[in-house]
Amino acid sequence: MTTTQSTTPGGAPVAVAHVDLARRLHANLQQVLLGTPAAVTVAVVAALSGGHLLIEDVPGVGKTVLARTLAVSLGAQLSRVQGHPDLLPTDVTGVSVYSQETGTWEFRAGPVFAHVVLLDELNRTPPRTQSALLEAMEEQQVTVDGESWPLPHPHMVLATQNPIGQLGTFPLVESQLDRFALSTPLGYPDAATETHLALGHGGREALSNLSAVCSVESWSEVIAATRAIPVAPAVAQYAVAISRATRQAAPVRLGASPRASITLVRSAQAHALLYGRDYVSPVDIQAMAVPSLAHRLITDGDTSTGAAVISDVLRATPAPRP
């Protein structure tokens, strides 16, 4: 396989095919999600790093379209679960059914067994159902009636929630938020982009004509390649310092976990791959700090947001020299 040349001493070359796949995936999403470059980058990084993605924004800005575009682009099976207060854990994980023919209990897999699982309006599902996802998202398996069933690999959960109008919702608990590797808003498009969408450019119309850029097998390979991108000890220490600083920030009641530090490094590896680098630089850490950490922070709410805290921490934490 043709590879790029290493640009840092001791760095392992990154395969051109992997960089090409990452960029074609990015281009595919840009065809559909007009005017949201930051969110597109975060979604691509989540896919390349093998992480789960939380999309938070108001209705009608393309959250579900983003999830569908990602699944189509990855050539992956997609299952969609609509969140509502009556949703049961077994509606997501699956259920054991007694077979009259065999006289045994047979497991019937739920929608969580797809490669890409879209949970629309996750915060409208009750806590019991949300908890059923914790094992799936962390351990890549579900346990039903005392028996564990492995999930397919790769396995990616994309969840959406509307942060405004919380009537009838069940806020995601800290452990659930910590399972999401990355989080991103989409935001409103500018006037020109919104006009393009109104004229039928991008959006669902573009999605209907979209083709996959890879197979599930290729997706799995690029995840493995991403995690093999070298990270210098000083850069890893920089990522850990950022996470640890959030735990002492004045407006923060709950800071980033060690899992968040791991996620930040993995996301930075994917960001480096997307930009054709065969090593992780402080720039990659800085680019992924807010998407990786902000949603995990519990702040006072009145004085600060997670993103603002991370921005302050980045300014106060010295980056290692190249």
Q: What share of the chain is helix, strand, coil (3-state, %, to 5)?
A: 50, 15, 35
- Check whether 61 has a pLDDT greater than 90: no
Q: Give the CATH architecture of domain 229-322.
A: Orthogonal Bundle (1.10)
Q: Are 99 and 93 in contact (CB under 8 A)?
A: no
Q: What percent of the chain has pLDDT over 90?
A: 63
CA distance 231 to 228: 9
pLDDT on residue 155: 95
What pLDDT shows up at residue 200? 83
Token digits of residue 272: 């480096």
Q: What pTM was computed for the model?
A: 0.90
In the chain, domain spans: 18-87+113-228, 229-322
Which pLDDT band holds residue 169 (cuts at 50, 70, 90)? confident
| pLDDT per position as a tens digit, 20-60 | 999 999 999 999 988 889 999 999 999 999 999 999 888 88
Residue 115 or residue 200, greater confidence? 115
For residues 217-245, give the mean pLDDT: 96
Whether 3 shows a pLDDT value over 60: the answer reads no
pLDDT of residue 165: 64
Predicted local distance difference test score (pLDDT) of residue 13: 61
Check: CB of residue 48 under 8 Å from CB of residue 222.
yes
The pLDDT of residue 303 is above 90: no
pLDDT of residue 220: 95
Confidence band of 301 (pLDDT split at 50, 70, 90): low
pLDDT of residue 1: 34
DSSP state of 124: G
Mean pLDDT, range 85-97, rounded to an integer: 92
* Count of C-beta atoms within a 10 Å radius of residue 181: 29
Confidence of residue 186 (pLDDT cuts 50, 70, 90): confident
Report how far residue 107's alpha carbon sits from residue 118's, in angstroms, rounded to the nearest whole number: 22
The beta strand positions in 24-112, using DSSP E, are: 53-56, 78-82, 94-99, 104-109
Residue ranges of E strands in the chain: 53-56, 78-82, 94-99, 104-109, 116-120, 141-144, 147-150, 156-161, 182-184, 252-254, 298-299
- Mean pLDDT of all residues in 203-221: 90
More confident: 72 or 250:
72
Average pLDDT over residues 134-151: 91
Residue 74 CB neighbour total at 10 angstroms: 25
Say which CATH architecture domain 18-87+113-228 belongs to.
3-Layer(aba) Sandwich (3.40)
